Amino acid sequence: MDILRTQNLKVYFKQQGKAIKAVDGVDVFLKEGLIVSLAGESGCGKSTLAKTILGFNKPYAGKVYFKGVDITLKKNEPVIRKNIRIVFQNPYLSFDPRYTVFAALYEALTVFKKLSKSEGRGLVVKALNEVELNEDALDRYPHELSGGQLQRVCIARALINNPSLVILDEPTSSLDATTAYKIIKLLKELRDSRAMTFLFISHNLKLLHKISDFCFIMYYGKIVEYGPKDILYANPLHPYTKLLFDSADYKIKNILQAQELDYYGCVFKGNCQRKTAACDNPPSKLEAEPGHAVFCFNVDSR
């Protein structure tokens, strides 16, 4: 079942009098109990999509459904608060420096239920244990923890009320590789033990290969390809996905600035080696294999 689905979601911003189509007609769907990744270069709209799902941005058009409930409607905001949490890239920015670990987690815990500090303590320690931290962390302030430890506290805070969906926006990019892989291991364990769903946003294709079950590739406000991880990595079809996956270092390069703002037709045509006259029209979805779809007119058939 899809726990979350967006339908033709559009989020536009004005910058210097021009409209930025940060998210432009996006349909994504997250299957319950999977780690779904969203990859694409800087500025392509990943964080905007995440923030819009959480209701921080109001869409210009389109809908977001959580278990079939339209959460773009104001009256359904409590559904978001109860079920969806986010972890941001920089743990120091998302943590109030005046709060101890206990104070922050206790505050999160008591949003939905009344608990005394002593009742809350046990649950806070349990949440910390889950991210491989212990009671020693309770009375510490953010500056007394390493980046990796504080990010684990942020994950514990996101998980403490047992949400159904956790969005992680570049959660490991400020961490060293060992800590990043520990966090990945933890998320996989949570997916398996609690059947939690994760939307994992990252630039790092190697990391996404390790963590995800399903991937969406985004370019300039649009999803250009999606599919189960193993299938997508073995057989990338969109010229943009191919470009990403063929690069020796597996790093996402920034080619967005070469794109005109007022493009028409395919969003990638300005950079595409395979461009034909057809690309002046918006590409429709081609289901290449079961569950694997690409938005391109010029895909090689296998």
Ligand X SMILES: Nc1ncnc2c1ncn2[C@@H]1O[C@H](COP(=O)(O)OP(=O)(O)OP(=O)(O)O)[C@@H](O)[C@H]1O
Residues that bind ligand X (CB under 6 A): 13, 15, 20, 22, 40, 42-48
CB of 204 to Mg ion, least distance (A): 13
Burial of 138 (0-12, 13-18, 19+ CB in 10 A): middle
CB of 21 to ligand X, least distance (A): 8
Strand-pairing partners, residue 177, are none
45 binds, among ligand X, Mg ion, none (CB under 5 to 8 A by kind): ligand X
The answer to whether 36 and 216 are in contact (CB under 8 A) is: yes
Please tell me whether residue 47 binds Mg ion under the rule CB under 5 A.
yes
Instruction: Select 47 or 164, whichever has its Cβ closest to Mg ion.
Output: 47
How would you label 19-40 residue by residue, b for 16+ Cβ within 10 Å and e otherwise? ebbbbbbbebbbeebbbbbbbb
Instruction: Select 102 or 200, whichever has its Cβ closest to Mg ion.
Output: 200
Can you tell me the distance from the alpha carbon of 278 to that of 282, in angstroms, rounded to the nearest whole number? 9
Please tell me whether residue 241 binds Mg ion under the rule CB under 5 A.
no
Please tell me whether residue 6 binds Mg ion under the rule CB under 5 A.
no
Contact segment (CB under 5 A) with Mg ion among 11-19, 44-52, 135-143, 205-213 equals 44-52
CB of 22 to ligand X, least distance (A): 3
Q: Packing angle between helix 147-159 and helix 177-194, nearest 10 degrees?
A: 20
Q: Count of residues binding Mg ion (CB under 5 A)? A: 1
Contact segment (CB under 5 A) with Mg ion among 47-55, 75-83, 190-198, 214-222 equals 47-55
DSSP alpha helix (H) spans, 171-277 = 177-194, 205-211, 229-234, 239-246
User: DSSP letter at 100?
Assistant: -
Instruction: Select 53 or 133, whichever has its Cβ closest to ligand X.
Output: 53
CB of 19 to ligand X, least distance (A): 10
CB of 46 to Mg ion, least distance (A): 5
Distances (CA, A) of 290 to 226, 228, 241: 11, 9, 18
264 binds, among Mg ion, ligand X, none (CB under 5 to 8 A by kind): none
**Under the rule (CB under 5 A), what is the footprint of Mg ion?**
47
